[in-house]
Amino acid sequence: MDFSIKAYDAKNSIAAAKSGCVVVGVFENKKLSAAADALDASGAISAALKSGDISGKPGSALLLRGLDKVGAARVLLVGLGSADALSEKAFTSAVQAAAKAFTTLGCNDAVLALPFDDVKGRDTAWAIRSAVQALRESVFRTDGQKSKKDTSTSGVRKITLACAANAANKTALAQAIAIVNGMELTKELGNLSPNVANPTYLANTAKKLGKDYGFSVEVLERKQLEALKMGSFLSVTNGSEQPPKFIVIKHMGGKPKDAPVVLVGKGITFDTGGISLKPGPSMDEMKYDMCGAGSVLGTFRAIGELNLKLNVIGVIPACENMPSGRATKPGDIVTAMNGLTIEILNTDAEGRLILCDALTYAERFKPAAVIDIATLTGACVIALGNHNSGLFTRHDEDHDALADELLAAGKQASDTAWRMPTGELYNEQLKSNFADLANIGGQPGGSITAACFLENFTRSYKWAHIDIAGTAWKSGAAKGATGRPVPLLTTFLIKRAG
């Protein structure tokens, strides 16, 4: 889809605009939006409302053709809900209704003339980003590995957003497109079958991003990881035939001496649970256990496209977690890169074992902040469901400020997170009789003890952990990666860049 912004006024009216379709909103109390009123010279829109052909409820839609004194061939009415306050949900539902209709129309271009400035509690930039994301989501395809592709409709491909063509809105549109491009890379990586999207594939994806956007990319192999004494990470790789890859990708868009933000993404390209084997039902969804890594790569695509003036480094430990005669066993004790010993009580708690060495490795960059992103615990899904990602940090002034930044970015991007507690009381659950740490702390507070485990490897810098186990993908009929938390991360970095 191609997007542009155009302002309509008395001299350049929306009624005179030539297009295949113009989309305007109507409200539940039979009230017309300003744009709908401007197209109602013939009274056809008012008549449709009065007759009940469209209710005005969010998500409702009605297509009209050949209206007098309207330059567009078609007028699509979409419901906006209550006229007293246009809500975020109602606005998004209206765009989704338009997106659905666009796939069936026999025209190539359309004007989206919704009230971008009137969403309660949101600015125009949010409305632009929300519209672009909803419209692009409607045409995102998941049939890349099918021998016969799904039926494709031509539909609308050029969309003009009817709002002020000022610098702020143009910037919002550029950011929206970059974020959606990043989300789509993340979704494509997550949806690929695990026999394709293995650690080597992730490494090659990072290298391609490096070529496309000028990133520096380094991929460490097993011998280098052994030399670095990454015993925890390597313990997870023991049962797999696929070689591990430790990917480091750098976007140095800021000043040379500026401390970088480091994003650490969990890259388990398939998780059987290892010797602590998972149950069979839905195990196929464990191809999504690399969505933390995918979100880092997607975020890099977004910031590369924006040429963000900030130093950002991505660190991705990538491997499979497989059972075999060589696989790590429950009860094994391994030594992490920072020298701590870990008793592995459950080999299915492997994400924290690869992340802890990556977090130690991140120290060398003397970071301004380190954020790890991982599909880490089912316990986070139980705690927060599928709406909010879990956010964990230490509880002090510096970390409170970092948490507030991330939460605000998530709210702005409609990619929300919820802060969870941490602390020494939870660390008590990670005690081992035989090693410095156990890799699990039992069922109570499982997402919290997982974060507390990681916190042991982050004492030298500011750190936050985002658990995306409930938000990285959807199950059921809508099965597929969501692209989260690319919007949150990219918005956070845009704000950091100032």
Q: Is 278 a catalytic residue?
A: yes
Percent helix, percent strand, percent coil in the chain, to nearest 5:
40, 20, 40
**Helix/strand/coil for 393:** strand
- Is 88:105 a contact under the CB 8 Å cutoff? no
Residue 94 contacts residue 132 (beta carbons within 8 Å): no
- Confirm whether 352 is a catalytic residue: yes
Backbone angles phi, psi at 249, to 5 degrees: -125, 135
CA angle 185, 188, 189 (to 5 degrees): 85
Q: In angstroms, rounded to a whole number, what is the distance separating the alpha carbons of residues 428 and 442?
A: 11
Q: Which of 31, 170, 278, 479 is catalytic?
A: 278
DSSP track, 260-273: PEEEEE-EEEEE--
Q: Which of 421, 458, 456 lies closest to 435, judged by CA?
A: 456
The CB density around residue 398, as the number of other CB atoms within 10 Å, is 12
DSSP 125-154: HHHHHHHHHHHHHTT----TT-SSPPP---
**Where does residue 406 rank: exposed (0-12), middle (13-18), buried (19+ CB within 10 A)?**
buried
Instruction: Please tell me the distance from the alpha carbon of residue 323 to that of residue 56, in angstroms, as a whole number.
Output: 56
Rounded distance between C-alpha atoms, residue 348 and residue 370, angstroms:
25
Structure tokens at 201: 């594939």
Please give the C-alpha separations between residue 210 and each of 204, 255, 268, in angstroms, as whole numbers.
10, 19, 22
With CA atoms as reference, report the closest residue to 154 among 105, 119, 116, 195: 105
CB atoms inside a 10 Å sphere around CB 7: 12
Question: In which residue are the tokens 């380094």 written?
Answer: 218
In the set 122, 129, 136, 352, the catalytic residue is 352
Q: Determine which helix (DSSP H) or strand (DSSP E) holds 335, and give its type and residue range.
A: strand 333-335
Tell me the catalytic residues.
278, 352
